[in-house]
Each structure stands twice: as structure tokens, then as C-alpha cells.
Chain A
Amino acid sequence: MDKLTRRAFLRASGFAGAAVLLAACGPATTTTPAAGEAAPAAGEGTAPTTAPGAAAPAGQEPVTVEWWPGWPNPFMTTVGELFMAANPGIKLNMVLNYPEKEAVLAAVASDTTPDLIEDVPYMELIVRGVFMPIDERLANVPDLAVKGGDIPDSLWEVFAWEGQHYGIPSVDTAGREGFGINLTVAEEAGLDVNNLPVTWSEAFEWHKKITQYDAAGNVLMLGFDPMAERTDACTDGDPWMWPHLWGFAYIKDGVYDIDRPETVEFLTVIKQFADDVGIEKIDGLNTAFAAMNRGPFDAGKVGMRITYPSAPAETYRVNPDHKYVYTYCPVPDNRRGIKVQTAGGHAGCIMAQAAHPDEAFELAKFLVSPEACEVFFKEVGWVGPRLSWQQTLDLSTYPDHVAQSIRYFSESLTKADEVWWNNDPIEGITADEWNRVFEGVRHGELTPEQGAKEMQEKLTKELAPALEER
């Protein structure tokens, strides 16, 4: 055997280093198909010999599906175990962490994506071709039809782009907005809880009556902060409710329509509440209780709050002594009587680079199965989107007001007069700009008119590059 000389070692090291550098300097492009482009056919190139999920043949290892479930909670582990028990041919490798956007980007860029993912900025990733369209697969699953199936049509459209669908709605995906009212606090303020506010004018009156201060002007009880919780709600599958309450879509057919009188109106309403109490006091109260899911609302320090479908059960667990109900959000006076709901939430999405798309599809289907819906509901009170399962909801363990509120969230998508959703390809920028504008308006640095105009200009400018094919 030849002796390895120092010179030979150095030469070899030099070549190896140069090779690594050259490889690293290569173009950092990825090979995800563009949105709308046909995804690889199921099992393409590796035709499965057995149906996905069926027990692996003797001596063959089960397929391992990489899953980023979105919530690092025990209920997701429970669902994963149920799935593996029902699909012995599939093993799950669950990465229990909130999938931060930078982690998703790094995974896509390095071609190390999971097979299935939830709780991400869906639309921004859809338009960039990160997910696989699933219409062909859905065509073989009658109860998951996107029209007239067991999941409300509107929920499918939240995860759709240019006629194709990219995710199976699941987890806590139902009617997305609920106007929560702490009846205990309202009664103490002398308000008639049989006549809840239905317009923003009435909500402001209630707010005035509920809000209390001490002698030094510190807020003891806040009536209503209309921006709390839903402030960043046009990302990750959530709609942006303000335009919808005023009866318009802020983006339609790829065109923003924000600089209009209705936007000025709702920015004025938002400012009205901030001016009444003082924005620093409202923000201070919210951050003081930031450790709680719904902040001061859960703590019984705020009378009203617009919140998510998870609220009735969660708030009941935190504060069972107070009586909360959830109903349709207030509308402007000229739309009194119109019940508005928005569709949004989460979906299981198969990555375009998925190594096991068939098995990932099985998992996405399972997340909306009655068994999974039951786990989500029993463990955290989240309502899943499957209509037939919702009919079987056992609410007997909850008091009437909580049961009524859970029913509101599950039924409002089919009972509301108007159901809206967003397909905003730059929802991250929209959310940021929206937050910047409402902060500016609430702090008195922008007029509502300026806010509407600035937002229109900014988003219009940002949209084209995002949709550009490269």
C-alpha cells in the first residue's frame, strides 16, 4: 500500500476544498413547478405496488412521510399516531415546531422540504409553486368534492389559485370571525344582554358603557379594542375582515381596490375607539396580558373582542366564571341586519418537492376525518370543517352559552348572508402595510384618507413582481 505523503495529502485537500467551493458557487435555483403547472403524477417514476397506507409487504419498510404539522402540541401527536395505526404502511416523521417562514424557504431552496405542511403563508407559497395542486387526486374522493361536498365550498377556495386547489381544509378551519362578548361584564355595566350590538355604532355605545377608569386614568375595564387579535389576520390563511364587513373585496382579479370611501370609514371607526381611551393605554392593556391566548379578554378585563373559532372552548377553560358568547361581527349602520362571515383557516398542503405525495395526500385526508376532528375538538375545542361530523358534535359537556358559540362558528359559514375570503398573493406585505396604516391612523400620524391611499399605492406596486414568472 502506498504511503500517504504530506504533499499528497495537501494536494488532495486542496482539490477537495476547491470542489466544495465550486459546488457552493453553483446557481441556487430550485426546481419547483410554477403555480398551475402540472405536478408530477401520483407515484410517477416509482409506481407503487400497493395502495398508499396499506401494510407494507413482508420484509419491506413502511414509507416514511415527513410532516410539519404546524402546532407542536400533543393533540397533533395523537392524530399522527391514529393515522399510523390506520395506515400501517406509512410511518410519520413529525417535526413538531411552528413552521416559520424562513425554515420553509430554506427547506425549499435546499430541496429538503417535508411531504406535508400546515400553518404557513399558504397563498404566497401557492403562487410561487411551492405546493402541488390536488384536484386530480380530489376527483377520486367524493366526500371531498370542492363543490357540494362535506366541506363548505368557500373553505376550498381559500387555498385555490387560478382554478386549482392546493390544500385540504382541516384542523380548526370553519367560520373564521366571531364577535365575542363577555356577558358577565356587560351585565355588570347595566347593558341588556338580550339585545347584543349588531352595528359598529352600537358596539361603540357598549364600549363606552363598559369601559372604566380609576381616579388616575388607568384603564380598569376596556369595552372594546376592535384591532386586538385580528390585527395581523390577513396572513397564513386568514381573511382580512374589515373590507368584508363593509361589503367589498379589497383584491379582486389581481387588482387591489382599497382607496375607497368604505376603507376611510372603517379606519375612522378604528380610530374612534383608539381616541376614546388612548392608544397607549389600549396597547398597554393588551401587552400586559399577552401571555394569555386572548389577552385581557380571557382575563375578563375587556368586554368585547373579535376572535377565532377556537375562542369559545379555550376561553371557557381559562375563565369559566365569566359567560362569553360569540356571534356575527358588527357591520356599518347602512348594512344593519346583514350577517357576514369569512372563510379561512388551515389546510394540509403537499409540497411540490414531496418525496411521497400519495402518502402525504392520505395524511391530508386523514386530518379532516371524523377521528381527527374529534381529537382536535376534544383536546382543544377546535372545530374542524367536515359538515357531517359537525352534526354529531357532542356539546353536552359545555354550558349553553359555550355550546351556542361553538355552533355559531360551525354553522355560520352556511347560514351567513355573505361569506368572504381572500386570495392575496402578497398577504405578508398586505398584513405589514395594514398594520403600519392602522398604527399610523390610531396614533394620529395618518388620516384615514391618507391610510387608504398609501395602502392602495404600496400594494399595487408590490403585486406585479410577486406574480412575475421567472
Chain B
Amino acid sequence: MIDVARRERQRTMQGLAFASPWVIGFLIFTVYPLLASAYYSLTRYDVIRAPKFVGLENYVEIFTADPLFRLTLANTVYFVVIGVPAAFVTAWLIANLLNQEMWGRSVWRTVFFLPAITPIVASVMVWLWIYNTQFGIINGALIARGLPAIPFLSSPKLAKPSIILVQCWASGNSVVIFLASLQDVPRQLYEAATIDGANAWARFWKITIPMCTPQMLFVLLTDLIGTFQSFTLPWLLTEGGPNNATELYSLYLFRNAFVFFKMGYASALAWILFLIIGLVSFAIFRSSARWVFYRGE
């Protein structure tokens, strides 16, 4: 009996020893920065000089006296509410198309996945040319036909949808996940439904979608968290402009930390974002009991 317990303990220790590089890395590079940022959020800190404890001052200012907090949060919510469903639906539709029997299917799958593995800076350069008001493929054609150019990135009204379009274009990862889930739906379910007289639409609604909901939950959550933290695309395409139309929360957070020398304030902003993302994720998880179906349940 004692030997069993000792062997079990030894195994545990061995497991911990093998996991220790990751555990130590996690503690140093994740847990410590997390705790440090929680402390810094209660300080006035510019990275250069020692932090000065100010209690909840940063949080009070964010909620009561910072119009840019409200503006950037509203912009981010716009991207989440419009951009996440748009990218989700786009990826789902493309995955369904790519799941059909068609000529050159592998090539099409590669084509749709390519944007996901293309470096984002290269993608942005291409899109900057597509959106260019003088020489872009769209505006060049419009101007040549005597029509007014479309100010994709220089109009506050169009800049957000223009960036969301790029997000949709780059949703190859979600396409792959959806495609895998579609291919994992048991064929016999379709066969049984067909025998029972279900048409294609009914099979799609009653079998395909329910069977793919676990993957949908995963894509929804990762997209949502990624969009709340979205930085690179708007930074490279518009730098938050025009007139703050694409100034997202993470851009504003970055400016506070590294342009305004306000790391304490930026840390407070980061914690607020963390809580928002946590709450939204929690709500989605809670709701998932009603719309996510796991096989075998």
C-alpha cells in the first residue's frame, strides 16, 4: 500500500518536473505580469520612474472623465457586434460551399485558407492598394468611368465596415474549423433523415447546424475575444482614424502605455477590458447550454 502511494507521488513529481518549464514560464510571463498590472492599475506609473500608489483614481477617471474611453469602447463594441457575426457567417458559408463536391475543391480550400496564413502586414499592404482612392482596383475603375471615388478608409462612416471586410476575408482559420466539423457530422443521420422525408433545408437546420454547434461556440468565443483585443488591422490600416472612427480600445490602451507614458492608466484600461471579455464569455457559456449540442448527451 505504501509502495503504491510512493510510486504515485513519484509519478506526480516526475510529471511536474517535465511540466515545470511551462509552469515556470507561465508563472513568470503570465501570472506575474497579470498581478503586476493589477498593482500598476492602482498607481501612477510611467515605466521610467517608480510607481506612485493612487488607489482607484485611474478607474474613477476612466469611468467619469475620459470621453475617449467611452468612444473607443463604443467603437470596439461596434466591431464585436457587427464584425464577429459577419466574419462568423462568412466563414460558415464558405465552409459549407467548400464541403460540396466540386471541381478543384482542394485548390479552393487552399485559396480560402491562404489569407489566414499570410502575414498580416502583407495583407494590409494589399488592402491599402485595393482601397486606394486614386489607384485602387475599385476606385481606379470608378474614376475611369467618370464616377466619384469611394473613400473607404478616409470616411468615418466607411472606415469601420472597410476594416470588417478585411476581417471577413481573413477568416480562413474559422473556415477550416467549420469544414472539419461539417465533415465530422455522421452520414447516417442524413441518410435517416432523407428516408424520413427531410429535404435539404430541413437536414441543414435539424442536423448540420446542431451537430456543428460545439465548433461554433469555439469560433464565436475566440473571434469575440480576438475582436475585443483587435489591434493590428486598425493600427496598420487607419491608425485609429479618420476622426477616431477606428480608434479601438486596444489602440487607446497602447497609446496610454507607450505614447502618453501612462502605464498605470493603461493597466486599469486592460483590467476593465479583461472584465468585459470575462463577462461576455461567461454569458455566452451560460447561454450555450441552450444552443450547443454535444454528441452523446
Which of A24, A128, A290, A443 is in CB contact (< 8 Å) with B156?
A443
Measured in the bound complex, the distance between the Cα atoms of B148 and A214 in whole Å is 9
Q: By the criterion CB–CB under 8 Å, are B13 and A10 in contact?
A: yes
Partner of A128 from B28, B48, B52, B134 at Cβ < 8 Å: B48
Contacts of A216 in B (CB 8 A): 143, 146-148
Number of A residues with CB within 8 Å of any CB on chain B: 57
Closest chain A CB from B68 CB (angstroms)? 8
Q: Which B residues lie within 8 Å of A288 (CB)? A: 132-135
Are the CB atoms of A429 and B143 closer together than 8 Å? Answer: no
B292 — which chain A residues lie within 8 A by C-beta? none
CB-CB nearest in chain A for B31:
A21
Chain B 147-169 interface mask (CB, 8 Å, partner A; 1/0): 11101011110000000000000
Q: Judging by beta carbons under 8 Å apart, are B17 and A9 in contact?
A: yes
CB pair B258 A30 closer than 8 Å:
no
Q: With a CB–CB cut-off of 8 A, which chain B residues contact A24?
A: 28, 32
Complex interface: chain B residues within 8 A of A280 (CB): 151, 154-155, 242
B49 CB contacts on chain A under 8 angstroms: 29-30, 32, 34, 128-129, 470
Of A57-65, A102-110, A257-265, A342-350, the one touching chain B: A102-110
- Chain A residues closer than 8 Å to B156, beta-carbon distance: 443
> Which one of B32, B51, B154, B155 has the greatest number of beta carbons of chain A within 10 Å?
B154
Interchain CB contact (< 8 A) of B48 among A13, A17, A129: A129
Which residues between 42 and 91 of chain B lie within 8 Å of chain A, taking CB atoms? 44, 46-52, 68
A-B pair count, CB < 8 Å, reads: 133
Interface size class of B (residues with CB under 8 A): 35 or more
**Smallest distance from the beta carbon of A211 to chain B beta carbons, Å?**
15
Residues of B within 8 A of A466 (CB): 46, 261
Structural contact, A283 and B255, CB atoms closer than 8 A: no
Best-surrounded residue of A27, A124, A288 (most CB of chain B within 10 A):
A288
B241 / chain A contacts, CB cutoff of 8 Å: 283, 439
- Closest residue of chain B to A108 (Cβ to Cβ) is B48
Q: Within 8 Å CB of B143, what residues of A?
A: 214, 216, 218
Among B19-51, those with CB < 8 Å from A are: 20, 23-24, 27-28, 32, 36, 44, 46-51
**Can you list 8 A-B contacts with CB-CB less than 8 angstroms, sorted by A residue number?**
A214-B146, A216-B146, A284-B134, A289-B134, A290-B128, A432-B260, A443-B156, A443-B242
Beyond A100-B258, A462-B260, 4 additional contacts (C-beta under 8 Å) are A128-B49, A216-B147, A428-B261, A443-B156
